Every structure is written in C-alpha cells, then in structure tokens.
Structure 1
Amino acid sequence: MELLIIYLLVINMIAFAMMGMDKSYARHKKRRIPEKRLFGVSAIGGALGAWIGMQVWRHKTKHTSFRVGIPLLFLLNLVVIYYLSGLIGMNFNYIA
C-alpha cells in the first residue's frame, strides 16, 4: 500500500516537472520532450501531475489532445488505482 502511494507521488512529481521543463525548452528553442513521452508518463499514473502542470505552466492547454487526453488518462489512473487497491487490500471506506 505504501509503495503504491510513494509511486504515485513520485510519478506525478515527474509528470509535473516534465511539463515545466518542456515549457522552458519551448521558450528557449531547445529540443523538446516528445508528446508521446508526456502522455506515456501520464498513462502510467502521472496524469494528475501532468494536468496540474498544464495549468501551472500554461503549457499544452491549447492542444485538444492534451485538454481531453490528460483528464481522460486521470480517470483511467483512478480506475486502475481503485482496482489495484482492491488487489493489495487497501480500504477506501474511510474516505467517504
């Protein structure tokens, strides 16, 4: 259970940082982080961090694929986390 929480914290911090880095790279005309990589990190649990990064850094907010795709990946992340929590015995009853 603790490993899942640590993993999610780390992957979301990475996704958030990647959005900021890519924005900085774009401003300085440097080589960018591929969109496939940004979506990949989001798909493996970092969608919330990417979504927050989009808002904070004002990055990729005009791209329909990101405006729609990242929130959908966040919902997918929630479903997978809920499923995994059942497998490892986490109890979400205390949240409600």
Structure 2
Amino acid sequence: MSFLIFATDKFQAKNNRMRIAENTLLVVTFLGGSIGSILTMLLFRHKTSKRSFLLNFFLVVAVQIILIILFLRKSQI
C-alpha cells in the first residue's frame, strides 16, 4: 500500500497535480510501510533529495526498529 501511495505522489508531482502530504507519507511508513516506501524512493528517486523529509523518514524507521527490538525482548521473557 505504501508503495502505491508514494508512487501516486511521484506521479502527481511529475504532472503538477495536488500532492499527498508528507505527514501522510510518514504515517503510512510508520504503520508498516517501510519496505514499500524505501522501494519507491529507490526505484523512482522520490523524495531522495529533500533532506528534511529524509531526516523524518529515517527517524520513523529508527522508531520502528526500536519498537520491534523492544517487542522481541519482551516476548522472550
């Protein structure tokens, strides 16, 4: 789903249409769309030159990794 949302935003950008808000892209990423988001960013070079977005994006991914580690540690007890 995140792949399609990011790809749609890229298409909208290329065609000067209304864009999807960056916060929406970040929320979709946080809700489990990291892989799709990363794939779209790499394949279509979408949002890769916008430093502020990349900083927030990698912050979201870092939070996800931390949450997964905490969950896995807690489930081992």
TM-score with structure 2 setting the length: 0.77
Number of aligned residue pairs:
76
Q: Which amino acid aligns with 1:18?
A: I
Unaligned 5+ residue runs, structure 1? Answer: 1-13, 91-96
Report if the CA contact (8 A) 1:50-1:70 is conserved.
no
Task: For residues 16-62 of structure 1, give each alpha carbon's deviation from its aligned partner in whole angstroms, at most 9, with x where no partner exists.
Answer: 22111100111122221111100111222323321221111111111
Q: Considering only aligned residues, what root-mean-square deviation do their CA atoms show, in Å? A: 1.9
Moved more, 62-71 or 78-87: 78-87
Which protein has the larger Cα radius of gyration, Structure 1 or Structure 2? 1
Cα offset, 1:85, TM superposition: 3.3
Q: Which runs of 4+ in 1 moved over 4 A?
A: none
TM-score with structure 1 setting the length: 0.65
Unaligned 5+ residue runs, structure 2? Answer: none
- Once residues 25 and 52 of structure 1 are traced to their aligned partners in structure 2, the CA distance between those partners, rounded to angstroms, is 18
**In structure 1, which of residues 54, 64, 82 is the aligned counterpart of residue 51 of structure 2?**
64
- Once residues 44 and 52 of structure 2 are traced to their aligned partners in structure 1, the CA distance between those partners, rounded to angstroms, is 17
Identity %: 28
Matches of residues 1-96 of structure 1 in structure 2 within 5 Å?
14-87=1-74, 89=75
Task: For residues 53-95 of structure 1, give each alpha carbon's deviation from its aligned partner in whole angstroms, at most 9, with x where no partner exists.
Answer: 11111111111122222122112111112223344x37xxxxx
